[in-house]
Each structure stands twice: as C-alpha cells, then as structure tokens.
Amino acid sequence: MINAFAVNGMGTQAVELYREMPNNLRDHVSQICVLNACSHAGLLHEARTIFNEIS
C-alpha cells in the first residue's frame, strides 16, 4: 500500500500510513517503500527523519 501511494504521487499519504504502522510490522520492504515515496514527492526532511530512525 505504501508503494502504491508512492507510485501514484501520494508521498504524504505513504508517510502517514508508515507512521501509523506498529513498529514491529515495519520491515526493510516498508522502509524502502516509504523512502522511495519521500524521494518522489520531494519530502527530504521526512526521508532524513525516517532514515535516522532506521539507522
């Protein structure tokens, strides 16, 4: 679902969905998808925040 938002230009919604997910359900696939969504939507600040949370 996060990737679907990403490829349809809905980066903000992708980030919102990612943030609503419980931490134990966030895996490498969802993390890559949300970073991709941020990239396509120009959400640099969100991408950096999420990347720092992952690292």
**Range list of β-strands (E), the chain:** none
pLDDT of residue 54: 92
In angstroms, rounded to a whole number, what is the distance separating the alpha carbons of residues 55 and 1?
Answer: 23
In angstroms, rounded to a whole number, what is the distance separating the alpha carbons of residues 52 and 4?
Answer: 23
pLDDT of residue 9: 93
pLDDT of residue 55: 82
In angstroms, rounded to a whole number, what is the distance separating the alpha carbons of residues 14 and 9?
Answer: 9
Q: Provide block-wise average pLDDT over 10 residues at a time, the chain (55 residues).
A: 95 98 95 96 97 92
Domain boundaries, the chain: 2-54
pTM, full prediction = 0.91
